[in-house]
Copies of this chain bind each other. A is one copy, B any other.
Amino acid sequence: MRSPCSIARSLEVLGEKWTFLVIREALAGVTRFADFRAALGIAPDILTARLGTLVGAGVLEKVPYQEPGSRQRHEYHLTDAGRELRVVLGALQQWGDAHCPYEAGPTVARRAADGRSLGVAFVDDRGRAVSPADVRFERTAAYPA
């Protein structure tokens, strides 16, 4: 059965999925190891490894917390860099809904605060969408010889 999450479906095609799914949960407000584990059904050693990579890369930061009667633990909070991955996940979600569709339709919608439906697109410096056919990738002077 296909996953209801378009991001998960895109990544079944496109690559290693756990990293993006950890970020998906973090964007949804998850911060604790047990909650990541419960949400994703991921093996603890893989989750530990992925969280470590994301902390090392500056996407998540570890914040200590302590509940009464328990030892100190850490939560994982998104950094600004981590929050900027929203547009990457939005693009994966949009592609998955278009090209790896879920039988019941999209399970999550992207909306502005006022309810407008949103997509992900190339935009110019005035914030106006540009047709994909007009987009060029040009090598700069920094491109290696």
Contacts and interface: CB of A to CB of B under 8 A. Distances in A.
Contacts of A47: none
A15 B13 contact: no
Contact of A113 (B19, B112, B118, B136): B136
Contacts of A130: 112, 116, 118
* Interface bracket on A: 35 or more
B98 A81 contact: yes
B129 A128 contact: yes
Contacts of A28: 137
A67 interface: no
Contacts of A100: 57
A140 to B, nearest CB: 5
Interface in A20-37: 20, 27-28
Contact of A135 (B16, B53, B90, B127): B90
Interface of A: 4, 10-11, 13-20, 27-28, 53-54, 57-59, 81, 83-88, 90-92, 94-95, 98-100, 102, 104-113, 116-125, 127-130, 132, 134-140, 142-144
